[in-house]
Amino acid sequence: LKEYRIECYTYPTSRFKLLSFAVYPKIQDLAMGLHTFIKTKTSVNDNVIIVAHSMGGLIARRYLTDEVKNKRKINTRKLILYATPNLGSQLAKFSWLSNVQAKQMKINSDFIDQLNDDWKVHNVEKYIQVQYVAGGQDKVVDIYSAKNYWNSGDFKFLPNKDHYNIIKPSNDNDDTYLVLEKFVLQRFKFFLEDYEKPIVYIQRNII
């Protein structure tokens, strides 16, 4: 993948309330940060591929949904989600230990429900090629939450991977890396764009 330029979007996060005075932005705020990051680091002619893990996948999905919803030009062509809690995480149920981000990732949280509704209503996968990856040893995000219940059909299951080593390949022959490599290198799918209808129509009989 040496022909690709790699950028890393970082953000403050913690699973638990380690410091009472620490500020952990909401996921939708981190999505706005991702919007700024991509606009700053890329041009409109770039083909961006987002590789996201766990909560990072929710940030990416919120960002992309907002872009489609607001009819903004998207230069992101692909999104691969490793162990993303698309239906929420069972670990987040311990809300008394959690910060605001973990609470948003609870199963049936308002954030999760709204994101999934928006993702479906605005048909985001018409514009972005998405692949979902789940680990068989993952105790944080189960397979049903990590897989694509939107029926896109692009789902990979790695039975020996847990929530953490699913993004830490030991070498270039590791399934974690091979899944990414194949996804990145395959040809871009053609997606139909939504164009605004012209204000003035020419009558067919004139043509």
Whole-structure pTM value: 0.85
Question: Where would I find the H helices in the chain?
Answer: 27-41, 55-69, 100-104, 110-121, 143-146, 175-185
State the first-to-last Cα distance of the chain, in angstroms, to the nearest integer.
Answer: 50
Per-residue pLDDT of the chain (207 residues; tens, 9 = 90+): 888 999 999 998 875 555 556 678 999 999 999 999 999 999 988 999 999 999 999 999 999 999 999 999 899 999 999 999 999 987 766 555 567 888 889 888 999 999 999 999 999 998 999 999 999 999 999 999 998 766 567 899 999 999 999 999 999 999 999 999 999 998 877 665 544 556 666 666 655
> Residue 77, Cβ neighbours under 10 Å: how many?
16
> Residue 31, Cβ neighbours under 10 Å: how many?
22
